[in-house]
A and B are shown apart, each in its own frame.
Chain A
Amino acid sequence: MSALQTPPVSPRRADQALARVMRILAPIVVLALGIAIWSFVVRLNHIPPYVLPGPEAVFKTLIDDWQILFSSLLVTLWTTLEGFVAAAVGGIVLALLFNQSKWLEVSLFPYAVILQVTPVIAIAPLLLIYLPQQTAVIVCAWIVGFFPVLSNTTLGLKSVDRNLAGLFELYGASRLQTLRYLKLPAALPFILGGLRIAGGLSLIGAVVAEIAAGSAGAGSGLAYRIAESGYRLNIPRMFAALLLLSVAGIVIYGLLALVSHLILRRWHESALGKEN
């Protein structure tokens, strides 16, 4: 009875492997299904491309107009990056200042909130009046990106273990030592979480400002291409530009998530596998 002696594949392991495959496969199936239905509906109803282009037309435009679209993508990405860096530096520095001085926090925090809750689409036209266009776009990206960094960093700096803080006090740590060796490392997971949100928001800020500036006609970013193509009823190019924006957003988020994982993987709960 040799059949009894061969150990069967553990059903638990098989389940796990299946779950891993499904995690990748399921969204792809949904995507393929969505594209198929889209294509089918367009063909069946003979919808003209200036109303709703089929996926083939969008893909073809993406290739034909690649030169224009790619240079526009670079412009938008560059704006996003500048806005993101400004948001990261501004948010973290402001949070550090708030942490050192209670009064500074009390007097300035409400205005940070106001800046956050006022829709950036309403501020953008104003900024475009007072600032050069490129600066205004970066400022918009900064405005929407900096608040999550600020509030997350502030929260992180406050969530230091009380006993650890006592220990630092016991050993006579200076303010700078406490900040460097205790508060900043403790706040790091929060800061990275804030940056992850800020990355996507900076892209949104840049796009909003480009759209607002679009009517002025001097822009060359992806959002400007969308607005321009809209006026010209070049709907396939609108879709192609939109697709590129989405992909850019996904890549930004993925990169920031990866950086966060690499930094935290040795110690933070969020980066640990379930078996630990």
Chain B
Amino acid sequence: MADPVSLSDADVNATGSAVSLRGVTKVYDNGVVALGPLDLEVRRGEFVSLLGPSGCGKSTALRLIAGLNAPTSGTVAVSHRSGETTPRHSIGFVFQEPTLMPWASVRDNVRLPLKLGHMPTAESDTRIAGALAQVGLAEFADAFPRELSGGMKMRVSLARALVTDPDILLMDEPFAALDEITRFRLNNDLLKLWRDLRKTVIFVTHSVFESVYLSQRVIVMTARPGRIAAEFRIAATGPRGEEFRTSAEYAGYCRNVSHALTPLHQGHPLR
């Protein structure tokens, strides 16, 4: 377990930064250089997407931020609320798979982070109900994961990440395995949650359309080792919805991002 360096309150106020990577590289034990060097600054409350081809180290970057892996070199700094000694509970993680415990009900799956933090049952019950209501699954608390559809499982996974009320939400291609209709719905719900809760979201995806639709900033990464190839600010005004998805503005952004991505697939990484 690698504890990311903590930013003090003074730093946070000065930079307003939630996550800060400096010169981060990751070399796996088998010698594969997966990442970097990577410099990344994510402001508080920002929605940032990491976009790139499979195997470009986007997931690795996310695991480094979560502290699940240690960087080979460089520093990973994650801000956390004053008064908390570890940054752990200020991070929520949503995996590509729902990653639910099949033997536990939806309620007990969402309870997991609280139970591991030794929160009393009575207190955690109210928070679980709140988190499930946020993702629209209030009536499914007693269901088992196998009884749910793929989209609902993903919502449970999201509720579990939200139940600790984290500052930062890390999402690793969460909707990649879902059908498009479900994915659109979850995209909209995620945007609404983000507007309401004002979390910092770092969203890994390989879909240009998804990244442009969701983010304030899209970061295009090169093939392995993953570096930043290009960066786009998506400055759409007003809340996004189906209107935005069909607008010329959206199409324009998608075109630009796709162009930045295209040479990567042809084996000429941008420098």
Q: Which residues of A contact B (CB under 8 A)?
A: 161, 163-164, 166-173, 177, 181-182, 185-186, 188, 266-268, 272, 276
C-alpha gap A68/B214 in the complex (Å)? 79
Bits for B103-134, please: 1 = Cβ < 8 Å to A, else 0.
Answer: 11000000011011100000000000000000
B145: chain A residues within 8 A (beta carbon): 267
C-alpha gap A169/B63 in the complex (Å)? 11
A188: chain B residues within 8 A (beta carbon): 103
Contact A167-B99, Cβ < 8 Å, known A172-B88, A173-B116: yes
B164: chain A residues within 8 A (beta carbon): 171
Partner of A161 from B67, B99, B104 at Cβ < 8 Å: B99
B1: chain A residues within 8 A (beta carbon): 169
**B86 within 8 A of partner (CB):** yes
Q: Identify 24 residue pairs between A and B in the complex whose beta-carbon atoms are under 8 Å apart, listed by A's number.
A: A163-B95, A163-B99, A164-B99, A166-B93, A167-B95, A167-B99, A167-B112, A168-B116, A169-B68, A170-B88, A170-B93, A171-B89, A171-B116, A172-B86, A173-B116, A177-B116, A181-B112, A185-B104, A188-B103, A266-B103, A267-B102, A267-B103, A267-B146, A268-B102
Q: Would B116 and A172 count as touching, CB distance under 8 A?
A: yes
C-alpha gap A173/B66 in the complex (Å)? 15
Nearest CB on B from A143, distance (A): 32
B209: chain A residues within 8 A (beta carbon): none
Nearest CB on B from A268, distance (A): 7
**B39 within 8 A of partner (CB):** no
A171: chain B residues within 8 A (beta carbon): 88-89, 112-113, 116-117, 164
C-alpha gap A164/B113 in the complex (Å)? 11
Q: What are the 3 closest A-B residue pairs judged by CB atoms, nearest first?
A: A163-B99, A171-B116, A185-B103
C-alpha gap A29/B113 in the complex (Å)? 56
Nearest CB on A from B83, distance (A): 17
Residue of A nearest to B115 (CB): A181
A268: chain B residues within 8 A (beta carbon): 102-103
Bits for B162-179, please: 1 = Cβ < 8 Å to A, else 0.
Answer: 001000000000000000
B86: chain A residues within 8 A (beta carbon): 172
Interface size of B by CB at 8 A reads 26
Contact A163-B112, Cβ < 8 Å, known A169-B1, A172-B117, A276-B146: no
B144: chain A residues within 8 A (beta carbon): 266-267
Nearest CB on A from B112, distance (A): 7
B68: chain A residues within 8 A (beta carbon): 166, 169-170
Q: Which of B87-102 contact A (CB under 8 A)?
A: 88-89, 91, 93, 95, 97, 99, 101-102
Q: Would A170 and B66 count as touching, CB distance under 8 A?
A: yes
B117: chain A residues within 8 A (beta carbon): 171-172
Residue of B nearest to A182 (CB): B101
Nearest CB on A from B54, distance (A): 17
With most chain A CB atoms within 10 A of its CB, the pick from B68, B89, B91, B144 is B68
C-alpha gap A267/B144 in the complex (Å)? 7
Residue of B nearest to A276 (CB): B146
C-alpha gap A166/B88 in the complex (Å)? 12
Residue of B nearest to A263 (CB): B103
B104: chain A residues within 8 A (beta carbon): 185
B93: chain A residues within 8 A (beta carbon): 166-167, 170
Nearest CB on A from B100, distance (A): 8
C-alpha gap A181/B145 in the complex (Å)? 16
Nearest CB on B from A147, distance (A): 26
Q: Which of B132-150 contact A (CB under 8 A)?
A: 144-146
Nearest CB on A from B24, distance (A): 19
A266: chain B residues within 8 A (beta carbon): 103, 144
C-alpha gap A168/B109 in the complex (Å)? 12
B112: chain A residues within 8 A (beta carbon): 167, 171, 181
A177: chain B residues within 8 A (beta carbon): 116
A164: chain B residues within 8 A (beta carbon): 99, 101
Nearest CB on A from B1, distance (A): 6
A163: chain B residues within 8 A (beta carbon): 95, 97, 99
